[in-house]
Structure 1
Amino acid sequence: MKIWDIAIRLFHWTLVVAFVMAAYSAFQDKFGIYADMHTYAGVTILILMVWRILWGLVGSESARFSSFVRGPKAIMGYLRHGDTAKCAGHNPLGALSVVAMLLLLLAQAVMGLFATDDMFFSGPLNGEAGSWAGTLTRLHKQLGLVLIGLATFHVLVVLYYTLIKKAGILRAMITGTKAEAKKAPRMASPWLALGVLVPVAATLWFAILG
């Protein structure tokens, strides 16, 4: 049963690559290739976050926030009786991590635009930060470490559900299909996804990088 559209799968794996590049370059001397890598990876993450939020409003049923973000009662019910193999898309508990990661990555990418190391590297909009530059830089560095920890935890959880609980989460994000689900979610057109992405990417890219 198809549960993830091609747009969500491309978003996910593009985000993985961009995040790895941003995290790796963050620990290098930021001049030359590593400065460019960090900047372009950060802007790419920002574009992906904005697109994902919009896709969560108008995209495929399994990608919409209204279909998987639930309240405390649903989360507790899932913890007591839930079976992730039968969840089409994110389960109520996983939805919390999805929303948290989206918001944290969005905040991290925005703060990175204004950050500076006062030596080799400054974000594209650092000149607009004024007296806030130091604070934003410090928060950017601290949140970066938090995100690396959360990403590591996310990988471990996926491996647990894949190898121990046999939920097929990793396979689903590659193929878009899942062997068991209660109901097949409605898929939105990939052309709609492209129609959302192009103006978002073009606007942010040129507004930030010129």
Structure 2
Amino acid sequence: MRKIKIWDLATRLFHWSLVVAFVLAAYSAFEDKFGMYADMHLYSGIAVLILISWRIIWGLIGSDTARFSHFVKSPAAAIRAFGSLVRREPYSEVGHNPLGGYAVILMLVLLLIQPVLGLFSSDDMFFEGPLVSAVDGSLSNRATEIHELLGLFLIGFTIFHVVMIMVYALLKRVDLVRPMITGRAYKPDTEDQPVVRSQILAFILLLVVGSGVCLSVF
């Protein structure tokens, strides 16, 4: 076994920044959205939109383990990964396994839809999304309803994600959290070191995406 780099710095910062932004958005969703909580909900939602937009692009051009082509496999591969979990076989994947890959795609899609809906949502009292005036009232009401339901689903899905991390820790003795902090994990000597793309490129891309989202929204 040798320690190799699994996750690049940009992907790790994305992950933990998304955790913070999502927690703030979820927390403020249950508060009366005026003053501080209105600002918290708006800007954390914009942050989620920027981060997810960046991650989708990085999933196409980024480091090996961040690329969708690395972890999005056939349904049969995902079933085999589930069977491996049930049988408590050693975890040998570098990065996401095929089962986790489908969860990642689902989470990215839903976390992209959620803030977009929020841009057109209104609680008819204190809070309006910055683009609510671009659609008629019925569409805004529908967007608000879906935004609220999807928010509850995402909270539940996040809890499920945490539970699965604990399951892997208990059943396979695999720590999935530490590599997302340090970027490194022990893997068999036969595993090649994943290619890491330029982190400067990653942060330039984030700047471009962030600027584009902000100019489109505000």
Question: Which TM-score tier does this pair reach, normalised by the shorter chain?
Answer: over 0.9
Matches of residues 17-56 of structure 1 in structure 2 within 5 Å? 17-56=20-59
Match status 1:153 vs 2:160: yes
Matches of residues 132-151 of structure 1 in structure 2 within 5 Å? 132-151=139-158
1:185 maps to which of 180, 190, 194: 194
- 2:127 is matched by which residue type in structure 1? F
8 A contact 1:85–1:168 mirrored in 2: no
8 A contact 1:60–1:185 mirrored in 2: yes
Partners of 1:144 and 1:86 in 2: CA distance: 34
8 A contact 1:113–1:126 mirrored in 2: yes
Q: Report the equivalent of 2:74.
A: 71
SS in structure 1 of the partner of residue 125 of structure 2: coil
Q: Which moved more, 1:123-132 or 1:159-168?
A: 159-168
1:201 maps to which of 191, 210, 213: 210
RMSD: 1.3
Partners of 1:18 and 1:81 in 2: CA distance: 33
TM-score normalised by length of structure 1:
0.96
Post-superposition CA distance 1:180-203 (Å, at most 9, x none): 253321111111101211110011
- 1:204 is matched by which residue type in structure 2? V
Q: Which moved more, 1:44-53 or 1:174-183?
A: 174-183
- 2:149 is matched by which residue type in structure 1? Q
SS in structure 2 of the partner of residue 168 of structure 1: coil
Post-superposition CA distance 1:35-65 (Å, at most 9, x none): 0000000000000010000000000000000
Partners of 1:32 and 1:81 in 2: CA distance: 50
Post-superposition CA distance 1:132-189 (Å, at most 9, x none): 0000000000000000000011111112213442212101100001112533211111
TM-score normalised by length of structure 2:
0.92
Count of aligned pairs between the two proteins: 209
Q: Which moved more, 1:88-97 or 1:179-188?
A: 179-188
Higher normalized helix content (fraction of residues): 1
8 A contact 1:61–1:186 mirrored in 2: yes
8 A contact 1:116–1:137 mirrored in 2: yes
Post-superposition CA distance 1:63-103 (Å, at most 9, x none): 00011101112112223346563101000000011000000
Q: Report the equivalent of 2:94.
A: 88
SS in structure 2 of the partner of residue 178 of structure 1: strand
Percent identical among aligned pairs is 49
- 2:103 is matched by which residue type in structure 1? S
Match status 1:2 vs 2:5: yes
Match status 1:105 vs 2:108: no
Q: Which moved more, 1:75-84 or 1:25-34?
A: 75-84
Structure 1 residue ranges without an equivalent (≥5): none
1:162 maps to which of 169, 178, 196: 169
Q: Report the equivalent of 1:117.
A: 123
Q: Which moved more, 1:163-172 or 1:188-197?
A: 163-172
8 A contact 1:84–1:91 mirrored in 2: no
- 1:25 is matched by which residue type in structure 2? S
